[in-house]
Amino acid sequence: MESGKPGHLYQRGFDKEGRAVIVMTPSRETRKENFALGIRYLVYTIENAIHSMQDQADQMVWLIDFSNFSKNHLPIRFVSCSSFY
């Protein structure tokens, strides 16, 4: 998918237990205006990770790198919706 180009979300192989490793770097997110496309790519990445895991693995590993992250990296729609709560 086109969305993976910035490198903010991708599957990075497997750990020793055969679990899929997904790496997320929110500070590299560049698609602030198209929230729906970002959700579609997230679901696509999770589904690919599930299908690629070995049969004995029933969990996955998420590595989230928040270095250089600020509120400016959040999608505008997310910020406006969260202000209601």
Phi, psi of 54 (to 5 degrees): -70, 160
Q: What pTM value is reported for the model?
A: 0.68
Dihedral over alpha carbons 49, 53, 56, 62 (to 10 degrees): -40
Q: What is the pLDDT of residues 28-68, one digit of tens each?
A: 776 656 667 778 888 999 999 999 987 788 899 999 888 88
CATH fold group of domain 2-82: Phosphatidylinositol Transfer Protein Sec14p (3.40.525)
For 77, residues 6+ apart whose C-beta sits below 8 A from its C-beta are 35
63 vs 12: CA distance, rounded Å: 10
